Structure 1
Amino acid sequence: MGGMLAPRATTLETRFEDVESDDDSLRRRQTLTTADTNLTQWNTDTLAACQTALSQLGAATNPSGTAVCYNLFSLDTNAGTFMADLRLFQVSTPSGAFQNIPPQEISVGLQYSGASVSPVSSTNQTTSGVGKRQTAAPTVLQTYMFVGQIDKAKMAEPMTMGVLEALVMPIVTLTGKSPTGPQVSTNVSSNEAAFVNGIFSNEVVMSDVSLASLAVDEAVAGLRNGTVAFVLPGVNILIFPVGLIITSIWLVVGVGFYAFGTYERYNYRDMYRNRKARDGKPGYAGRI
C-alpha cells in the first residue's frame, strides 16, 4: 500500500470520473473534491487531529507499539467510490516479537468486508530510533493514500451512515520479520483514531442501546419542561395480554376441577350417611 497526500491528485480525479453512479443508492452525498479542499491543508489538519486522538493512548494495544489513524478524504454515496487516508503512528515502545524489528521493515495490510482499494503511493516518514523510544506525542511513521470502490452488491442493500462506515472501515494488519526470527503479524485496532477528519468526522452513529437511552433522556426532559403529559405507569395494558389469558384459562380449569371434586365428595358423604341410616345404626339419620 502506499500514498502521499499531495502527489497524483489528478490521477485520483480521473479514477473517480470513470466510475458510474447508481441512482437507487443514498440520495444524500458527502464528498470532498480536490477542487474544494487543499491537500496541504488536509494533510495539516489530519495530522493534528490524529495526534490529538492518539495522544490519549497511554500505550499501543498491540505489540508493535504502533497505532493507525484512518480517515476518508472523499466519499460518493451514489457511486460507492471513496478516497481514504491511513497513517501509521509510533505510540509506544515495541514489545514481544516486534521488539527488534525496525519500523521501516513493517508492512501494512488492509482487508475490507465490502470494498476494494487501489494504492496511489506511499511515504515513509520514519526516523532513526523511532521504534525504540517512547515519546509523549505520537510520531507519524508512514502515510498511505488510496482510492476504493464499495461492492455493488453491498450498495444495493438499504444504506445508512452506520452501514457505510462498516463497509469502508478496514482491518489493518502489520507484518514484520526480524533479522534473527520468523515473520510475525498483528492486527491493529482501527477504532483508536478513525474518522477524526473529513467524512464522518461530524457524524455520530449510535448503537440501538444509545438511541434508546437518548429517547429516554428526551422523554424525561419533556416531562420536566411540561411538553409531555405524565402518564401513570401500570394502569393501562399496552400490549396484548397473552400471558394473562393463558394464566386465566389455567385458573378456571383448576377451580373447575377443585369444585367438581368437592361436589363429588359431598354426594359421597350423603350416600354414606343414608346407607348407614338404612342399616339402623344411630348417629347417621340426620344431616349435619
Structure 2
Amino acid sequence: MHMFNVITSALLLATHADLISAKAISHLPNALRRRDYFDKIGRDVDRILRREPQPQSSGTLSVAQPSNMTNATIASACVDALGPLTSVTNPAGLAACYNIIQYDATQGAFTADLRLYSMFPATGSFEGLAVNDLQIGLMYPASTMFQSITKRRKRNIEERDASNAFEIQQYSLFGTFESNLDLAKLNDTQVMSLMLPTIMLNAVDSSGNPIAANVTETDGAWFVVGQFKDDFKSGLVSPTVATAAIAAAAPFVLPGRTFGIFPIGFIVTGSWTVLFLIAYGIGTLGRIKYRSAYRKRKAAQAGRTGKKI
C-alpha cells in the first residue's frame, strides 16, 4: 500500500507539476466524487514539491510576484471587474480574468495570471454539464511560447461569492517571445495582442458528441491589474493585430537572397546553358585546330615552313 501511494503520487506530480512548453495546453479538473481521495494524494505531492527544486528556464521571469500583487489582490480586482457582466456569449456560462503580472521587454518575457469563473447557467449543448467536465485549452499567437502551472481550487463547487462569480480554475503562465522579434517597433496594443491567448472550451455532451466553444473578449476582464492596467481596448487587442505585430517586429530580410520556390526553371535553363557552352566550346576548339593546320599547309606550299602567314 505504501508503494502504491508513492507511485500514485509520482504520477500525479508528473501530470500537474511538470512545466509544459507548447503552443497549447489543456486541463481537465477531477470529478468531485474523487476529490477527497486526490486531496490526500495532493498533500503527498505538496511535500514532494517542497523537497524537489524546480528548474529555472533561461530567459523567463521569476515565479515570485511583486510584493503589491498578492493572490487576494488579483482575485478582488477580477471579481470587481467581472461584476458588471450581465451575460456571456459562450454557452458554458464562463467568464475569464487575464492579467500580466510582470513584463520584461529586454528579455521578451512575461508572467501572466488567468482565472476562470462560473457566472451564468450553461445553455445549448453545454446545458447540464458540470464545469468539472469541461476541458480548458489555451492557444497563444505563433510567436509566443509559454509554460504553465495549474493551480486547482480547494473550495466546494456549490460555494459562491456574493458577486455570483465562482472561481473554478487558475493558471500561472510564463511566456517568452521569439528572440528575432524587435519589440521596440511595437506599441502597447500590439504587445498585449501577442500576450493574449485564445481560451477554448471542449467537452462531450450526453450523446457522446464533442462540443466546443471559445471565451471571447466580451466574456471577461482583461489587464485589470499589473502591467498594461486599464490599457485594454475592446476590438484593438485581437489575433488579427497579433499577426500584424509579428510581421512588423520581424527583422528585415534582404529580398532575392534565397529561392522562394524550388528552382525548376533555373535548373532547366542552366542545363541548356551548360550544353550550349559545351557544344560551342567543342566547335571553337575544332576551328582553332583547323586554322592551325591550314596555316601550316599554306606555309609549306610557299616554302616557309613554320612561319605564320
Question: For the superposition of Structure 1 and Structure 2, which TM-score range results when normalised by the shorter chain?
Answer: 0.5 to 0.7
Q: 1:50: which partner in 2? A: 78
1:172 maps onto 2:202 in alignment: no
With over 3 angstroms needed to count, the CA separation of the structure-2 counterparts of 1:36 and 1:190, relative to structure 1, is same
Q: 1:87: which partner in 2? A: 115
With over 3 angstroms needed to count, the CA separation of the structure-2 counterparts of 1:32 and 1:75, relative to structure 1, is farther
With over 3 angstroms needed to count, the CA separation of the structure-2 counterparts of 1:199 and 1:134, relative to structure 1, is closer
Q: How many residues align?
A: 187
Superposition deviation, residue 37 in structure 1: 1.9
With over 3 angstroms needed to count, the CA separation of the structure-2 counterparts of 1:175 and 1:140, relative to structure 1, is same
Q: 2:22: which partner in 1? A: none
Task: Find 1:71's aligned residue among 88, 92, 99.
Answer: 99
In the alignment, the residues of structure 2 paired with residue 164 and residue 193 of structure 1 have an alpha-carbon distance, to the nearest angstrom, of 17
Please give the residue correspondences for 1:188-267 in structure 2 after superposition, counting only pairs within 5 Å.
188-190=215-217, 192-203=220-231
How large is the Cα RMSD of the aligned pairs? Answer: 3.3
Please give the residue correspondences for 1:19-168 in structure 2 after superposition, counting only pairs within 5 Å.
19=59, 34=64, 36-37=66-67, 42-113=70-141, 114-125=143-154, 127-129=156-158, 136-155=163-182, 158-168=185-195
AA at the equivalent of 2:59: V
In the alignment, the residues of structure 2 paired with residue 162 and residue 201 of structure 1 have an alpha-carbon distance, to the nearest angstrom, of 12
- Asked if 2 retains the 8 angstrom alpha-carbon contact of 1:171 and 1:190, the reply is no
In the alignment, the residues of structure 2 paired with residue 55 and residue 44 of structure 1 have an alpha-carbon distance, to the nearest angstrom, of 16
Runs of 5+ in structure 2 lacking a partner?
Answer: 1-24, 28-45, 237-309
Structure 2 residue matching 1:85: 3-state secondary structure: strand
In the alignment, the residues of structure 1 paired with residue 128 and residue 161 of structure 2 have an alpha-carbon distance, to the nearest angstrom, of 15
With over 3 angstroms needed to count, the CA separation of the structure-2 counterparts of 1:96 and 1:11, relative to structure 1, is same
Q: 2:247: which partner in 1? A: none
In the alignment, the residues of structure 2 paired with residue 170 and residue 201 of structure 1 have an alpha-carbon distance, to the nearest angstrom, of 17
With over 3 angstroms needed to count, the CA separation of the structure-2 counterparts of 1:167 and 1:199, relative to structure 1, is same
In the alignment, the residues of structure 2 paired with residue 178 and residue 134 of structure 1 have an alpha-carbon distance, to the nearest angstrom, of 28
With over 3 angstroms needed to count, the CA separation of the structure-2 counterparts of 1:169 and 1:42, relative to structure 1, is same
Task: Select the structure of larger CA radius of gyration.
Answer: 1
- Asked if 2 retains the 8 angstrom alpha-carbon contact of 1:83 and 1:147, the reply is yes
Superposition deviation, residue 153 in structure 1: 3.6
- Asked if 1 retains the 8 angstrom alpha-carbon contact of 2:199 and 2:215, the reply is yes
Q: 1:267: which partner in 2? A: none
In the alignment, the residues of structure 1 paired with residue 66 and residue 158 of structure 2 have an alpha-carbon distance, to the nearest angstrom, of 38
In the alignment, the residues of structure 2 paired with residue 207 and residue 60 of structure 1 have an alpha-carbon distance, to the nearest angstrom, of 16
In the alignment, the residues of structure 2 paired with residue 205 and residue 61 of structure 1 have an alpha-carbon distance, to the nearest angstrom, of 18
In the alignment, the residues of structure 2 paired with residue 146 and residue 36 of structure 1 have an alpha-carbon distance, to the nearest angstrom, of 15
Superposition deviation, residue 207 in structure 1: 9.0
With over 3 angstroms needed to count, the CA separation of the structure-2 counterparts of 1:119 and 1:176, relative to structure 1, is same
With over 3 angstroms needed to count, the CA separation of the structure-2 counterparts of 1:204 and 1:109, relative to structure 1, is closer
Structure 2 residue matching 1:152: 3-state secondary structure: coil
Runs of 5+ in structure 1 lacking a partner?
Answer: 21-30, 209-288
In the alignment, the residues of structure 2 paired with residue 47 and residue 135 of structure 1 have an alpha-carbon distance, to the nearest angstrom, of 13
AA at the equivalent of 2:195: V
In the alignment, the residues of structure 2 paired with residue 147 and residue 32 of structure 1 have an alpha-carbon distance, to the nearest angstrom, of 9
TM-score by length of 2: 0.52
TM-score by length of 1: 0.56
Superposition deviation, residue 95 in structure 1: 0.5
Q: 1:260: which partner in 2? A: none
Superposition deviation, residue 56 in structure 1: 0.6
Superposition deviation, residue 129 in structure 1: 4.9
In the alignment, the residues of structure 1 paired with residue 161 and residue 87 of structure 2 have an alpha-carbon distance, to the nearest angstrom, of 9
Superposition deviation, residue 158 in structure 1: 0.9
- Asked if 2 retains the 8 angstrom alpha-carbon contact of 1:101 and 1:178, the reply is yes
In the alignment, the residues of structure 2 paired with residue 199 and residue 34 of structure 1 have an alpha-carbon distance, to the nearest angstrom, of 15
* Identity across the alignment (%): 24
